[in-house]
Amino acid sequence: MNCQEALTLLYDVIDKEASQIDIKEVQKHLDYCQDCLKKFQLEESLQALVKEKLKAATDIPTINHLKARVLLKLEQIELMQISSRQREFPFRIPAVAMAAAASVILLIGAAFWGKGLYNHYTEYIPLERAHWAAVDDINNFSEQNSTQAVLAGVGGDFSLTFLDNLKGLSLVGGKTEEIKGQKVPHFVYNKGNETVSVFVFASDKINLPDDLLKTRIEVDGQCRLDHNCRGCRLVYYKVGDATIVTATTDHSFGLLEFNPVAGAI
Amino acid sequence: MADQKSALVGRRKAFDTEALPHMDALYRTALRMTKNVNDAEDLVQETYVKAYRFWDKFEPGSNARAWLFKIMTNVFINEYRSKSRSPMAVNVDELDDNFLYGQLATSSPGDNPEKQLFAKIFDDDVKKAIENLPEDFRLVVVLSFIEGFSYQEIAEIADLQLGTVKSRLHRGRKLLQKELLDYAVKNGFIKDTAK
């Protein structure tokens, strides 16, 4: 093998793509040709340099952060898959459900990755205020409005029915609240000092902040998003194309399992 | 419903075991390709989202790493590739195959001139040299040098002919050598004998 032939195989040999026969022949040549040997060494050093300097270029915290980010995103996708399975529940699903689901995905995607979208005051406080108002004056809800009438009042296309009694609490009544510029059905369950609010949103009209999505937990095959704040605890979950938000001021109350929608579980 | 749910859990488990361990490598390459941390993270995330959606198409037992790199390369080419592809800064073909060798041999005497030179080069300078490569060359150089993929794997990942992989790798190497040499000359590590 002459120099020309050896150098033609240079990269194949370095990249371990050359055949065993070629490698042997090249090796024989390099044993007596110092010039070619140096050229091979130079190329090998270059490759080793790049590999060495860049192989460990990423640090562990960065990867851990990225891994958490990716896992969270996968959770979101699963959340959508699980919530789409809830179609098996006996609710009337309007034809626009698919479009609504698609917009929820977009909305959550946007809400999740948009910077600075998390805002405690705009996302949670309005709901907490409405709940506090209900706790302060439960009489506002004493007229037991038909849940269907309240739901119809917001023009939503929901056909949800609510349990009259759950966990010892009774459905007191419902009314329409103005929350974040939307008309939102608000129902109240009560027993003694224990009061639970139930808000109903169209899933495509509710913002789910990124910190909320991180709290995803599965209860009886359904996803729950759990926001714990000083003054109030809010649990979000989907039923059909509605997103239910339950609220209580009692953090020890089993709010995660509190699902007043009849037939959902 | 329980069946569906356990299928979902099983699918996710398989994905976590097979796909997630390659994140480090994907991110490393994404960094070199996008040249910035934010885009690299987005690129890796999007790669995993796509991979998860198409996980049913992955053949169990086949090369998950190459499969993921193929997805990432596709996403990169479709969404991240710089809008105006930078024209070649130098005509690679004018460079002699062994020009760096020639430069080193004449400018810095000793047994291992390249080792002396390379010892002085910092990580960041190598990064810069890689990132200065035109995208097409950069991709194959990174996949080969850093990730150790074979020519055939790179051909499949980047959807190129084998010959194209080899020629791009060859020219990428020459450009890389030129970058590093320019750097060394600029910093006075070696004398510029080209002029």
Shared domain for A93 and A194, answered yes or no, is yes
Hey, what domains does chain B have and what are their CATH numbers? Answer: 2-80 (1.10.1740.10), 92-186 (1.10.10.10)
Q: What residue numbers bound the domain in which A174 lies?
A: 67-257
Considering the domain boundaries, does residue A264 fall inside one?
A: no
Distance from CA of B195 to the nearest CA of A (A): 22
Considering the domain boundaries, does residue A62 fall inside one?
A: no
Q: How many CB atoms sit inside 10 A of residue B170's CB? A: 16
Considering the domain boundaries, does residue A78 fall inside one?
A: yes
Contact across the interface for A11 and B44, Cβ inside 8 Å: no
Q: Averaged over A146-172, what is the pLDDT?
A: 74
User: Rounded to whole angstroms, what are the CA distances from B89 to A96, A182, B86, B166?
Assistant: 54, 57, 8, 20
The listed range with the strongest mean pLDDT (A52-56, A97-101, A179-183, B155-159) is B155-159
Which residue in chain A has the smallest CA separation from B45?
A70
The amino acid that residue A97 corresponds to is A
DSSP code for A34: H
Contact across the interface for A55 and B121, Cβ inside 8 Å: no
Q: Is B195 helix (H, G, I), strand (E, B) or coil?
A: coil
Of A58-62, A94-98, A172-176, A224-228, least confident by mean pLDDT is A94-98
Structure tokens that stand for B116 in this block: 């002396």
The per-residue pLDDT for range A40-69, each reduced to its tens digit, is 888 888 888 888 877 765 667 778 888 888
Q: CA B55, CA A45: separation in Å to the nearest integer?
A: 39
The amino acid that residue A215 corresponds to is T
The better pLDDT of the pair A131, A155 is held by A131
Shared domain for A30 and A145, answered yes or no, is no
Q: Compute the radius of gyration of chain A from its Cα atoms.
A: 31
**pTM of full prediction above 0.90:** no
Which residue in chain A has the smallest CA separation from B153?
A17
Q: CA A189, CA A208: separation in Å to the nearest integer?
A: 24
Chain B contact probe: residue of A4, A41, A49, A79 with most B CBs at under 10 A: A49
Angle, helices B162-186/B123-131, rounded to nearest 10 degrees: 130
Q: How many CB atoms sit inside 10 A of residue B139's CB? A: 27
Structure tokens that stand for B62 in this block: 């086949």
Collect all residues from A whose CB is shorter than 8 A from any CB in B: 7, 11, 15-17, 38-39, 41-43, 45-47, 49-51, 53-55, 57-58, 62-63, 66-67, 69-70, 73-74, 77-78, 81-82, 85, 88, 221
Total domains in chain A come to 2
Considering the domain boundaries, does residue A252 fall inside one?
A: yes
Considering the domain boundaries, does residue A10 fall inside one?
A: yes
Q: Is B22 helix (H, G, I), strand (E, B) or coil?
A: helix
